[in-house]
Amino acid sequence: MKRAPLALALALAACAPPPSSGGEVPAWISDTSSYGAPAAPRSTTAPPSLADPYREVAAKILAAARADRGAYEKLAELTDQIGARLAGSPELDRAIAWAAQTMKADGHEVRTEKVMVPHWQRGAEEAMVIAPVTRKVHVLGLGGSIATPKGGITAPIVVVKSFEELEARAADVKGAIVLFDVPMRPYDKTKGSDYGNVVRYRSQGASRAARHGAVAVLVRSITERSLRTPHTGAMSYATDAPKIPAASVTIEDAALLSRLAARGPVKLRLRLESKTLPDAPSANVIGELRGKDKPDEVVLIGAHLDSWDVGQGAHDDGAGCVQMMQALTTLRRLGLQPRRTIRVVLFTNEENGGRGSKAYAAEHAGELPNTVFALEADAGGFRPSSLGVGSKTAADRVALRLDELLSLVESTGLTKVFASQHVGADVTPLLAAGVPAGAVYTDGARYFDYHHTEADTLDKIDPAELADGAAAIAVLAYVIADLPERLDR
């Protein structure tokens, strides 16, 4: 089936209503309406004028980046030697120092900028069905959750499949532990992920249930598939509801609890020992390749250095970090200096506060008018597939100009672009300030198998796919920084 021209796809995306979502939603899937729009492959009827002068240098960049295992080697150091790195942890401090030193060793101008971040700690966690049978339940506390009382909570389980069912069963909820057993629909290559529809139960579920007297909540892990691996993630408390403990359960245990509850009363004991400490010092890490003609104009490429406190943070978002670092290193080793400055920003605290991106936007407010484009990668280390692009005033125009450039990187798999007003979480504050911004999407079919779990480890990364992403980013960053005119003009 022939797909619509890009201009028509952009118009359809612009007309689509924004999705209903709640709480923290990763950038690359936060706008499911635009993500699902039929963004067409680059037209081959006429040569893309913006790309023509850069074909030779783009081929050189691609060859160098794909032949170099530097991104994978960097990721191995980050994941195996440091590992999980939640905001406020010593491991994140080590990751910041490592990133700064690694970029300096590659010859870049590097600095760090202090940011105060939340400091939540996970303690001991356990859950057990105690009636009508005895069964251990695998739980993982949600980021930001309060602890249970010292001896835990023992209460009946009420299973609901939606917020509407919660409201309808409000009389049953008082004094109970509410389980939100809401499955994630299968990944669709056209429509993307269902994450935006189900993450609201993780982010809002505790307060919604607490308003009806619930004493704790459990949330089915946000994934299609599970090998009894619970998924964590951020939750938040509303100011008009009591704070109650919140944890995720595996797909398998959610299904067990639902089956038991369908047959009769179920009682469960839950114990969480999490706590929130005072804010802790952290930092964004910034590395630059200065422009030769217009050094005050900036093309920003970024990712977030923090991760959840389980697994190794390999896909989320160690992969994005090393791709940005290696993209800059590839250009420097090739002796390529564009007209404008290319700036790598490794943001702190994306996962449970977004303090790094907000601090960067505030600290650099005076230079944001000279930030030509901001691109983030937070979709895992899979092969790149498309770009989501946003702008306060010119999303379609920026997307169309980027579409002209995609012929330079189509061999990496990056072949589509679409306009959206919802882009990456770390570039959203820049978008709000008027900076054109975008996010690199990947083939996300496997992403939520590992997302926010113990399974997000280096062995899940394909070095060739990781290199493809670094190569595509290096080409686009260089060309956008070197264009005679700004991308948004």
Q: Does the pLDDT at position 36 exceed 80?
A: no
pLDDT at 14: 43
Mean pLDDT for the stretch of residues 191-203: 92
Place of tokens 């979709």: 379
Place of tokens 């960097």: 74
b/e sequence 304-341, b meaning 16+ C-beta within 10 Å:
bbbbbbbbbbbbbbbbbbbbbbbbbbbbbebebbbebb
- For the chain, the structural domain boundaries read 6-119+278-482, 123-273
Task: Look over the chain and give the mean of its residue pLDDT values, rounded to a whole number.
Answer: 91
Confidence of residue 4 (pLDDT cuts 50, 70, 90): very low
Place of tokens 């160690």: 318
233: left (phi over 0), alpha (psi -120 to 50) or beta: left
Catalytic residue among 24, 125, 288, 350: 350
**273 is an active site residue:** no
CATH code for the structural domain at 123-273: 3.50.30.30
Q: What is the amino acid identity at position 165?
A: E
CA atoms of 362 and 114, how far apart (whole Å): 12
Query: Tell me, what DSSP letter sits at residue 234?
Result: B
Q: What is the pLDDT of residues 386-423, one digit of tens each?
A: 999 998 777 778 888 999 999 999 999 999 998 887 78
CATH code for the structural domain at 6-119+278-482: 3.40.630.10
DSSP of 173-224:
HTTSEEEE--PPPPPBTTTB-SHHHHHHHHHHHHHHHHTTT-SEEEEE-S-S
Confidence of residue 16 (pLDDT cuts 50, 70, 90): very low
DSSP of 260-297:
HHHHS--EEEEEE--EEEEEEEEEEEEEEE--SSEEEE
Tell me the chain's radius of gyration from C-alpha atoms. Answer: 23
CA atoms of 121 and 143, how far apart (whole Å): 8
Q: What is the pLDDT of residues 103-137, one digit of tens each?
A: 999 999 999 999 999 999 999 999 999 999 999 99
Closest by Cα among 212, 275, 214, 210 to 237: 210
Same fold, 6-119+278-482 and 123-273: no
